[in-house]
Amino acid sequence: MFDRARILLTIAVCIFAAPAVAQAPTPTTTAFDGTYLGVSNTFEGDIDTGRTWARYCPQFSRPPTLSIVNGIARAGKFEGSVSPQGVLVMRTFWSHVDGRIDAQGTVRARSTSGCSYQFVWQKVPAPTMPFDGDYVGVSLESTGRSPQCPSNGVPSTLSIRNSAVLGDFWQGSVSQQGNLVIQTPRGMQVRGQIDNQGVIRVQGGNSAYTVILVWRKQSG
């Protein structure tokens, strides 16, 4: 009898311990679909103690790009949905984001997981120019031995609207011929081209290292 009770208790614990992302509200609207660029991230500290634990809580200047497609919301490792009233709910296994989208396309949300942050996103305007669109990162390759040399990997998504290039890390402009000039907040600049297949290739760096980045335009 004791073993049976223990088994039933274990099953109940597993049910209630299911990842929160599965409990997110079912999407019922596409009115808020689009790409939202991270504007600001305000670190509030450890929610259990009210103190700032920079050693344990990651520090970053802006939240990752938020994408909403068919009512499904994704930003970095977070995933969830948007209600018809603009209520945003996203989850990971360990943390969650709760917020709201206003009539101007501004998202204000709070992320909690032991570390607490206030996020702000702004909706990117609809494409109007030939190269406008969203470009998904393909590759980042760096060569050099400088401590500032970035690690190889995949760059975050770029959005191009009205010839302005916007991203979590890179910003700049593109000419009518598809020539790009983008740079980081610290002033590192790279240059390149968008080809007729919608592929961006840029290269740059300094005397200590060189980086080559590639993005590809999303279809649709």
Same domain (yes/no): 108, 176: no
Does the pLDDT at position 60 exceed 80? no
Same domain (yes/no): 28, 117: yes
Same domain (yes/no): 99, 167: no
| Residue-number span of the structural domain to which 66 is assigned | 19-123
* pLDDT tens per residue across span 12-55: 333 333 344 434 445 568 899 988 988 888 887 654 554 545 55
Same domain (yes/no): 113, 140: no
Same domain (yes/no): 116, 34: yes
Residue 29 CA to residue 20 CA, distance in Å, equals 21
Number of domains in the chain: 2
Same domain (yes/no): 40, 62: yes
What pTM did the predictor assign?
A: 0.57
Look up the CATH number of the domain holding residue 206: 2.40.128
Same domain (yes/no): 94, 142: no
Same domain (yes/no): 103, 175: no
* pLDDT tens per residue across span 77-123: 899 999 999 999 999 888 889 999 999 999 999 988 778 889 999 99
Residue 10 lies in a domain: no
Contacting residues for 88 by C-beta, under 8 A, at least 6 apart: 73, 80, 81, 82, 97, 98, 99, 100, 101, 107, 109
Query: At which of 76, 91, 123 does a domain end?
Result: 123
Same domain (yes/no): 97, 143: no
**HSE on the CB side for 157, CA within 13 Å?**
21
The pLDDT value recorded for residue 174 is 93
User: What number is the average pLDDT over the span 179-183?
Assistant: 93
Same domain (yes/no): 82, 159: no
Query: At which of 123, 142, 177 does a domain end?
Result: 123
Q: Which of 166, 176, 174 is nearest to 200 (CA)?
A: 174
